[in-house]
Amino acid sequence: MEQLNAVLEAAREKEWEHKKFLAAIKGIDLDQGAEKVDKVQEIKDRIAAEQSGLSPDEYEWKQAGLGFEPDEEE
């Protein structure tokens, strides 16, 4: 099973590199695009947390379906 996973991962990596190459020919940096998507998602999550009255940490835990217990202040 480990070997099959390794082959699959190598095939995915090869396909990703091929797509990056084709995009680079067109002047598109796929790695830079991923960073922008992450930043936009971060902003959306922060706004949603604010609108729901939760802290960003509480909102993140809630989205993951996990409970959240804030640190107790002494």
The yes-or-no verdict on residue 67 having pLDDT over 80 is: no
Residue 74 belongs to some domain of the structure: no
Residue 11 belongs to some domain of the structure: yes
pLDDT band at 69 (very low <50, low <70, confident <90, very high): low
H-type alpha helices, 1-74: 2-25, 30-52, 56-63
Residue 27 belongs to some domain of the structure: yes
Residue 70 belongs to some domain of the structure: no
* Counted domains in the chain: 1
Residue 24 belongs to some domain of the structure: yes
Residue 72 belongs to some domain of the structure: no
Rounded alpha-carbon distances, angstroms, from residue 69 to 14, 30, 59: 43, 38, 12
State pTM to two decimals.
0.41
Q: Which two tokens stand for residue 33?
A: 């695009």
Residue 69 belongs to some domain of the structure: no
| Amino acid identity at 56 | P
Residue 42 belongs to some domain of the structure: yes
Q: Which domain holds residue 9?
A: 2-63
